[in-house]
Amino acid sequence: MKRLKEFLFQLLILILLALLLAGWVKLSAWGAGIVVILLALWLALTRTGRQTVAITHIGLSTLPQRLGISSVIVIGIAGVVGVLVAMLAMSEGFKRTLEPSGSEEAGIILRGGSRVEVNSVITRDQAALISALPGIARDAENRGQVSAEMSQIVTLLNQSDGLESNAQIRGVGEQGWTIRPNIQLTAGRKFEPGKRELVVGEAAQGQFQGLALGSVLELSNQDWTIVGSFKAGNAHDSELWADATTLAAAYNRQSFQSVTVRLAGAEGLAQLKVALDDDPRLKLDVETTRNYYVKQSEGLSNLISVLGTVIGGIMAIGAVFGALNTMYAAVAGRAREIGTMRALGFKGLPVVVAVMLETMLLAAIGGLLGAFLAWLIFNGYSVSTLSENFSQVVFQFHVSPGLLWPGMKWALAIGLIGGSFPAIRAARMQITEALRSV
Amino acid sequence: MKYLHLVWASLLRSKIRTVLTMLSVMTAFLLFGMLDSVRIAFNSGSEVAGANRMVVSSRLSITQSLPYSLLTQIESLPNVEKVSYASWFGGVFKDNRQFFANFSIGPGYLDLYPEYEMSAEDRARFEADRTGAIVGASLAKRYNLKVGDVIPLQATIFPQKGSNNWPMKLAGIFEIKDEKRKAEENQLMFHWKYFDEANDFLKNRVGWIIVKLDSPDAAMSASKAIDGLSENSDHETRTQTEQAFNQAFAKQFADIGLIVTAIMGAVFFTLMLLTGSTMTQAVRERIPELAVLKTIGFSDRTVMVLVLIESCLIVLIGCCLGMALASAMMPGLSANSGGMIQLPSVPTETWLVGIALSLVIGVAVGLAPALRALRLNIVDALAGR
Residues 236-255 of B with CB under 8 A from A: 236, 248, 251-254
CB A286 within 8 A of CB A109: yes
Residues 44-73 of B with CB under 8 A from A: 59-63
Q: What pLDDT is attached to residue B47? A: 56
Kindly give, in sequence order, each residue whose CB lies less than 8 Å from that of residue A229, ignoring residues fewer than 6 positions away.
A185, A186, A187, A188, A199, A200, A201, A202, A205, A213
Q: What is the mean pLDDT of chain B?
A: 86
Q: In A, which residues are within 8 Å of B282 by CB distance?
A: none
Backbone angles phi, psi at B196, to 5 degrees: -65, -45
- ∠ CA B135-B138-B144, nearest 5°, is 80
Summarize pLDDT for B183-226 with one digit per residue, the tens. 788 899 999 999 999 888 888 999 999 999 888 788 888 888 99
Chain A residue whose CA is closest to B24: A318
Chain A residue whose CA is closest to B89: A119
Which band of pLDDT confidence, cut at 50, 70 and 90, is reported for residue B92? confident
Average pLDDT over residues A275-288: 90
What is the rounded distance in angstroms from the CA atom of residue A384 to the CA atom of residue A382?
Answer: 7
Backbone angles phi, psi at B57, to 5 degrees: -135, 170
Cβ distance of B154 and A79 shorter than 8 Å: no
How far apart are the CA of A315 and the nearest CA of chain B, in angstroms? Answer: 7
Residues 127-186 of B with CB under 8 A from A: 154-157, 159, 162, 164
Cβ distance of A119 and B90 shorter than 8 Å: yes
Which of B23, B154, B274 is opposite residue A76, by nearest beta carbon?
B274
Q: What pLDDT is attached to residue B51? A: 57
Q: In B, which residues are within 8 Å of A394 by CB distance?
A: none
Cβ distance of A79 and B62 shorter than 8 Å: no
Which of B59, B234, B251 is opposite residue A155, by nearest beta carbon?
B59
Cβ distance of B24 and A321 shorter than 8 Å: yes
Average pLDDT over residues B104-108: 92
Cβ distance of B62 and A155 shorter than 8 Å: yes
Cβ distance of A252 and B60 shorter than 8 Å: no
Supply the Cα-derived Rg of chain A in whole angstroms.
31
Tell me: pLDDT of B353 over 90: yes
- Bridge partners of A395? A383
Average pLDDT over residues B257-275: 84
Cα→Cα distances B187→A24, B258, B312, Å: 44, 27, 44
Is B9 within 8 Å of chain A by CB? no
User: Can you say whether the dihedral through the CA atoms of B159, B161, B163, B164 is positive or negative?
Assistant: negative
For chain B, give every domain's residue range: 4-44+255-383, 60-235
Which of B263, B273, B277 is opposite residue A83, by nearest beta carbon?
B263
Q: What ipTM was predicted for this assembly?
A: 0.83
Tell me: pLDDT of B49 over 60: no
Average pLDDT over residues A32-58: 90
What is the rounded distance in angstroms from the CA atom of residue B336 to the CA atom of residue B321?
Answer: 23
- Bridge partners of A394? A384
Q: In B, which residues are within 8 Å of A83 by CB distance?
A: 263, 266-267
CB A356 within 8 A of CB A13: no
Residues 288-347 of B with CB under 8 A from A: none
Cβ distance of A311 and B27 shorter than 8 Å: no
Which of A111, A113, A322 is opposite residue B24, by nearest beta carbon?
A322
Summarize pLDDT for A367-413 with one digit per residue, the tens. 999 999 999 999 988 888 888 777 888 999 999 988 999 999 999 99
Cβ distance of A68 and B277 shorter than 8 Å: yes
Q: What is the DSSP letter of A27?
A: -
How far apart are the CA of A4 and the nearest CA of chain B, in angstroms? Answer: 21
This prediction has a pTM of: 0.84
What is the rounded distance in angstroms from the CA atom of residue A60 to the CA atom of residue A129?
Answer: 76
Identify which has the larger pLDDT, B344 or B294.
B294
- ∠ CA B320-B324-B327, nearest 5°, is 140
Cβ distance of A155 and B61 shorter than 8 Å: yes
What is the rounded distance in angstroms from the CA atom of residue B152 to the CA atom of residue B160?
Answer: 14
How far apart are the CA of B122 and the nearest CA of chain A, in angstroms? Answer: 32
Is B205 within 8 Å of chain A by CB? no
Backbone angles phi, psi at B103, to 5 degrees: -155, 165
Which of B20, B253, B266 is opposite residue A385, by nearest beta carbon?
B253
Q: Collapse the DSSP code of B2 into the 3-class scheme (helix H, G, I; strand E, B; otherwise coil) and give the result.
A: coil
Segments of A215-330 assigned E as strands: 216-219, 222-231, 239-243, 255-256, 258-262, 284-288
Is B204 within 8 Å of chain A by CB? no
How far apart are the CA of B33 and the nearest CA of chain A, in angstroms? Answer: 12
Summarize pLDDT for A197-243 with one digit per residue, the tens. 999 999 999 999 999 999 999 887 889 999 999 999 899 999 999 99
CB B92 within 8 A of CB B143: no
Which of A79, A163, A164 is opposite residue B266, by nearest beta carbon?
A79
Tell me: pLDDT of B94 over 90: no
Cβ distance of A115 and B156 shorter than 8 Å: yes
